[in-house]
Amino acid sequence: MSVWPAWEVREGERATRWLHVRLDFGDGARIDALATVCEGWVCVEDVQARPALALEDLAVLADWIEGPLARACGDEPDPGGEDAGTGTHRDGSARPRGPQEARLVARAYREAQERGADPVLAVMDETGYSRRGSLRLIGRTRDAGLLSPRHARR
């Protein structure tokens, strides 16, 4: 991920910074965004992605870029923010797609089951998706045969 300044506006003690953000993924996908940072807040002004983002990806875009933006502005992310997450995407690295993503989901799901933890939460932490998005991923992973089918309800 690369971040570079676009412009800055100062009003007294308050400064608002606009930054260009680019995320390049291993599969050739790319996201370009224009974000503002002011008083610890990150706002995404514009996003262009090739291929288009799924709603789940758009929902976590700010999480992906918050820490690197804060560092670009000379601020440290807050303790509950970007660096506190356990998901691999939270360090700005590219999240796998397709078969690699399914293997990642299956591994996180099974490891959580073995520990006696909630497998859906483990997938959420690993991928950065919401609960709903993680459940969709788990379903697709089951369809791909990497997880056993759900038990029939009685």
> Which bin fits 144, alpha (ψ -120 to 50), beta or left (φ > 0)?
alpha
What ranges in 18-146 are assigned the alpha helix state H?
55-72, 98-115, 119-127, 131-143
Cβ atoms within 10 Å, residue 86: 11
Cβ atoms within 10 Å, residue 127: 22
Q: What is the mean pLDDT of the chain?
A: 76
Percent of the chain with pLDDT over 90: 11
Give residue-wise pLDDT tens across range 93-150. 455 667 788 888 999 999 999 998 888 888 888 887 777 878 888 988 998 899 988 7
* Confidence grade of residue 20 (pLDDT, cut at 50, 70, 90): very high
Task: Look at residue 91 and tell me whether its pLDDT is greater than 60.
Answer: no
Instruction: Compute the residue count for the chain.
Output: 154
Q: Give the integer Cα–Cα distance in Å for 122 and 109.
A: 6
pLDDT of residue 96: 61
Give residue-wise pLDDT tens across range 34-76. 988 777 677 788 899 888 888 777 777 777 777 777 677 765 5
Task: Look at residue 21 and tell me whether its pLDDT is greater than 80.
Answer: yes
Q: Are 32 and 10 contacting, i.e. CB atoms less than 8 angstroms apart?
A: no
Q: Are 136 and 120 contacting, i.e. CB atoms less than 8 angstroms apart?
A: no
* Confidence grade of residue 83 (pLDDT, cut at 50, 70, 90): very low
pLDDT of residue 151: 62
